[in-house]
Amino acid sequence: MTSFKEINLQVGSRLQMALRHGPVDIIYYTQLIGYLDGQYLIIKTPFENGLSVHMQVDEQVTLRILSGVDVFILTCRIKTIFRAPHYYMHLSFPTDIKSIALRGALRAKVNLPVQVNGIDAGIITDISVTGAAITANKVLGEPNTEVLLSFDFSIKPTNQSAHIDTSATIRSIQQLPGKKKDAPLRVSHGVLFNEIDPTSQVMLLNLVYESINRL
C-alpha cells in the first residue's frame, strides 16, 4: 500500500473527485488547500453551473491525483463542510491509498477529431495522458517536428465538455495498409504531448479510464 508521503502532494494541486450517485461516479475537479498529517485534508468545495456541489457529512469521496507517471487513488470521508463565503471542506486523512503506474502504457481507443496547427487534420484513434496516435490522409510533419493540437471530448457520465490545447512532438510516422485496392492514403502519427497542464492531464486521465471501463 502507498503512503501519503510518497505522493508528495503540494498545496494547490488539482484533484479529481468522484462522488457515488446511484450506480455511477460523478466526476468533479477541485484543489488542495492544505492538510494536517494524519488528521485531515482541506480541499475547495467543487462548483457546477455556478453552484457548490451538494454533499453530506460522512459521504465517501474518491480523490485521484496524477503525479509524474503514477496515478494515486485516495479514499476519504467528508468530516466538515464550510459554506459561504469560502466554500471548503475537511476530509478524513486517507488511509486507503492505491497507485497505478502509467508509464505511457495505460491507453484507450477513441475517435476524436483533432486540429493540427489550427487545421482539421485527422482523428485521434488512441490516447493516453502522455501522447496519442493520430490518423490522417497525409503526413502531418517530419519526425521530431513540434505541432499544436486542439481537440474536444465529453467527460462521462455527466457529459461535461473538455477542451485540450497542447503542443506535441511527432515521434513516429507509419503508412497504414489500405483495406481496398486504390484506397486513399492513411498515415498514423505517434505524438508525445509537451508540458500539458495539470488540469488537462486530469481530464485526459478520466477520459482514458472511462474509455477502458476502469473507473
For 36-96, give the DSSP string: ETTTEEEEEPPEETTEEPP--TT-EEEEEEEETTEEEEEEEEEEEEE-TTT-EEEEEPP-E
Reported as a pLDDT band with limits 50, 70 and 90, residue 157 is: low
> Length of the chain, please?
215
Distance (Å, whole) CA 62 – CA 76 = 6
166 band by pLDDT with thresholds 50, 70 and 90: very high
User: What's the pLDDT tens digit per position in 32-60?
Assistant: 999 999 999 999 999 888 889 889 999 99
Q: Which residue has the higher pLDDT, 18 or 159?
A: 18
Q: Count the neighbouring beta carbons within 10 Å of the beta carbon of residue 111.
A: 9
CATH entry, 4-101, from 2.40.10.220, 2.70.150.10, 2.30.110.10, 2.102.10.10: 2.30.110.10
- The pTM for the full model equals 0.59
CA 90 from chain center: how many Å?
A: 24
Cβ–Cβ < 8 Å for 4, 37: yes
Domain with CATH 2.40.10.220 in the chain: 108-211
C-alpha radius of gyration, the chain, whole number? 20
Report how far residue 107's alpha carbon sits from residue 105's, in angstroms, rounded to the nearest whole number: 6
Q: How large is the average pLDDT for residues 132-151?
A: 93
- Which range among 115-124, 174-183, 196-205 shows the weakest confidence by mean pLDDT? 174-183
- Report the distance separating Cα 212 and Cα 41, nearest Å: 30
Higher pLDDT, 35 or 72: 35
d(CA 193, CA 198): 12
- The domain 108-211: what is its CATH number? 2.40.10.220
pLDDT score at 76: 95
Looking at residue 214, what is its pLDDT?
47
Flag whether pLDDT at 213 surpasses 70: no
Cell triple for residue 32? 488542495
CA gap 64, 3 in Å, rounded: 14
